[in-house]
Copies of this chain bind each other. A is one copy, B any other.
Amino acid sequence: MSTENQNTSFQLTKELTQEVIAYIENQNDVALQELLQEFHYADIAEILDEVDLEQAIYVIKLLDSETTSEILMEVDEDVREKILKQLSAKEIAEEIGELDTDDAADILAELSEERQEQVISQIEDLEHKAEIQELLAYDEDTAGGLMAKELVRVYEDWTVEQCITEIRTQAEDVKRVHSIYVVNNQDQLIGRLSLKDLVTAKSKQKITEIYISNVDSVYVNEDSEDVAKVMAKYDLEAIPVIDHNKILLGRITIDDIVDVIREEADKDYQMAAGISQDVEADDSILKLTKARLPWLLIGMFGGLGAASIIEQFNGSMGDFIVLLSFVPLIQATAGNVGVQSSAIMVQGLANGTIDGNILNQLFKEFLLGLVNGVAIACIALLVTHFVFGTPYIVSITIGIALISVIVMAALIGTFIPIFLDKRGIDPAVATGPFITTSNDVFGILIYFLIAKCILGF
């Protein structure tokens, strides 16, 4: 037992990074290897995210490919891209040779097509190569794009004894076994065996007698988010992937699903915040600008639209110029309500808690808008009249406008996500600046129209 009991105490400190850099600079390979040996590859990846590119490549070339292939999977995508550029096709092929087929295909997918071919031609293990090529053909957002070819399969006519011998061989390639999939002679999935059942079964028994025919599975072209939903709903840790003839093609494990859930949540969150690409706080200013500026432009044109509406009414307003002071109130309220409604819809559509009846949902939001609207309007009416001294008729106008704007914003915020979802577009694009901007403009328009009707300017 050489390694220490490893607790979750890994903390990336400046001292540690400095130590690694010092060893690299002094080319003290022995000390470096000894130091890094203590760490999990995910921890080494965190260190490499912090050091310079040349230093990272030095470490990658120093360690054995079994470790570095896993490190490569864990480093930031842009760091990986840079490292891969510095490696030869043969070196990449060696790294990929160590990885499971799903990870290997993911890394290959990040390369240009030309380079992909160069690397693939260098993979020595022909079976591994064929499997990776098969996986590369699937869309990355489907079950096929998530699955690995590594799994343990047994035939229904085997005995438990035969099974165990076979599993010993097959399991060498499979990091975590989870389930043993039972297939018939046409390689169609017909059931599963739990490892636990196998351990506790008698060795002469036939698989047909002990297998469980009740097995969840997903089709290879199923959307990865749907796979995540199924696995979360049924608390599955692995799920087999089949084609439409029920042929067993691969399996998906829960760790990949955790990544799908996280990425999906991050994406929705960023969309709601008006960030259009997957960016992180430590990305470059250029990349961050690309992700942020488009939404700011939408907001800006919305603001200019609002300005031209105000210009339209400005001339005729006369004594009621005070109405302009309350534009921010109308705008903020419309924006907030719209974001609330759309966020609830987007989540509801994602979780399947919305039954799809648009009219019911709109009616409910109408009532909700009315309740919130009346509450907000009453307070605003009292504050504007008694604190600001706004004339009564103007305060009433503001109140009525607030109710109308809140109801309208709630309806728009509800309708647009449902509409997009029905058309097969991710409803999350309707959140954030998009909904805020359209509600701003509509809200201000409604405000002045109502004011014009009531005050008669």
- List residues of A whose CB falls within 8 A of some B CB: 1, 3-8, 40, 42, 164, 167-168, 171, 176-177, 189-191, 195-196, 198-200, 211, 213-218, 222, 226, 230-235, 237, 246, 254-255, 257-259, 261-262, 265-266, 268-270, 272-275, 279-282, 285, 288-289, 292-293, 295-297, 299-300, 302-304, 306-308, 310-311, 314, 321-322, 324-333, 335-337, 339-340, 342-345, 347-348, 351, 353-355, 361, 364, 367-368, 371-372, 375-376, 379-380, 383-384, 388, 406, 431-433, 436-437, 440, 444
Whether A340 pairs with B274 at a CB distance below 8 angstroms is: yes
In the assembled complex, the Cα of A262 lies from the Cα of B261 at a distance in Å of 7
Whether B329 pairs with A306 at a CB distance below 8 angstroms is: yes
In the assembled complex, the Cα of A195 lies from the Cα of B437 at a distance in Å of 56
Whether A196 pairs with B171 at a CB distance below 8 angstroms is: yes
Closest 3 A-B residue pairs measured CB to CB? A303-B329, A273-B343, A281-B348
Q: Which residue of B lies closest to A262 (CB)?
A: B261
* A336-B296 contact in complex given A275-B344, A281-B348, C-beta closer than 8 Å: yes
Whether A304 pairs with B8 at a CB distance below 8 angstroms is: no
Contacts of A297 in B (CB 8 A): 376, 379
Q: Kindly identify which residue among B211, B270, B347 contacts A343, using a CB–CB cutoff of 8 Å.
A: B270
Give, as a whole number of angstroms, the nearest-CB distance from A26 to chain B.
25
Give, as a whole number of angstroms, the nearest-CB distance from A309 to chain B.
9
Whether B304 pairs with A314 at a CB distance below 8 angstroms is: no
In the assembled complex, the Cα of A7 lies from the Cα of B214 at a distance in Å of 9
In the assembled complex, the Cα of A237 lies from the Cα of B444 at a distance in Å of 52
Whether A308 pairs with B388 at a CB distance below 8 angstroms is: yes
Whether A8 pairs with B218 at a CB distance below 8 angstroms is: yes
Contacts of A167 in B (CB 8 A): 199
Give, as a whole number of angstroms, the nearest-CB distance from A262 to chain B.
6
